[in-house]
Amino acid sequence: MKKIVCAAAALALIIPTVFAARDRKARGGKNSGNVVIKVWESDDSAKTYIEWAAKEFMKTHKKVKIEYEHVESTDARAKIELDGPAGVGADVFVAPHDHIGALVNGGHVAENTDGGYISQFINAAQVASQYKGKTYGYPLGIETYALFYNKDLIKTPPKTWEEVAEIAKNYNDETQRKYALVWPVADSYFDYMFMSAYGAQLFGPNGNDRKQHNINSEAAVKGLQYFQSLRKKLLNVPSADMTADFCNSSFTQGKAAMLITGPWMIETLSRLGMNFGITTLPAFPGQSKPATSFSGVRLAFVSSYSEHPAEATEFARFLTSKSSLEQRFKITKQIPPRRDITTNDPLSNGILEQTYHAIPMPTIPQMNTYWSAMGSAYSGIWDGDDVKTDLNTAAAAMDAAK
């Protein structure tokens, strides 16, 4: 009986190894003369781009075959954690930049050791591709929020928040629910621009020091006091009513002349036939540069489990080359994050210009506390709470976060 059990146990260990080896051989592993690079990416336009890039790459790499597999970028981290060690994961996969910490700490991605590579990209993309001083990602696209304006209502978009307030004096009509500018005032994503208005840097200059959350710093207090003052100046609406749906519909119906949102709204507004433009966020009093926004960067990663790291790295670099990202923009309309690319689309140019004044969302675990704690703080402050009290409460939650 003991021999049978031992034999069964041995067989249980052998079978996964056999199947993994067979899979590696089929994909061009050590026992095969072919090199097959599996790529995970989202569907729709992202898939179209990978398929285009694969054909172009294989023209000059005859012994390499690129295989696309549909895995949504937001699901790639969890999938590589399971499939990578099993030998069935991707060689190259795409994920949001805020997954980089977990991917690196788990040992799932290979370092990008080409020192000169990342300097070709805008600062926000450089920061997003790095973790603990090392580069891992290959930037594919970047997005942030900016100022959308109705050209039929606003001929010249405002450069400062003071100009926004001046427009509101003549445009606002609370009885008709007409407002010069709308945005979700209790959303921690958009409202970071107020926290950072006078120099407060969330989690320090590198965005990775939980002790430097700066949520209740003097600079943050000053920024949120200005934020609170805007309710009387241009948008006297309770925070609970300022949902994304309300803001978007107000803009599409012509009741709001301006809207702070991101590139995900471009297709909808264009389909509705709106005559709109996009420009950078207004500058704060005493400043000449646009407000600082959060940005999100889409990164390609080379799996640390790849049996063909050289070819996988070469394909990742090809995906993010100047000519490739120019083609990617044509296919996906996602902003290319390279310094040497300027899009010809005026709407996309407005988003691109704001990315130069954006910082990538921090990736440390305490960001989860920022979203919830500061969401409550922004809401309460907008509705009249004492600024310092609410920020101290949020800071206490951040200090207790693990």
Q: Which fold has domain 34-142+296-351?
A: D-Maltodextrin-Binding Protein; domain 2 (3.40.190)
pLDDT at residue 391, as a whole number: 98
Give the separation between CA 91 and CA 64, rounded to whole angstroms. 12
Other Cβ atoms closer than 10 A to 289: 11
Looking at domain 144-295+360-400, its CATH superfamily turns out to be: Periplasmic binding protein-like II (3.40.190.10)
* pLDDT for position 21: 41
Terminal Cα-to-Cα distance of the chain (whole angstroms): 50
Over residues 173-189, the pLDDT tens digits come to 999 999 999 999 999 99
- Is the entire prediction scored with pTM above 0.85? no
Torsion of Cα atoms, 47 then 50 then 56 then 59, to 10°: -100
- Between CA 131 and CA 206 the distance in angstroms is 10
Q: What pLDDT does residue 38 have? A: 98
pLDDT less than 70: residues of the chain? 1-33
Predicted local distance difference test score (pLDDT) of residue 293: 96
**H or E stretch at 396:** helix 387-400
Q: Where in the chain is the domain with CATH 3.40.190.10?
A: 34-142+296-351, 144-295+360-400
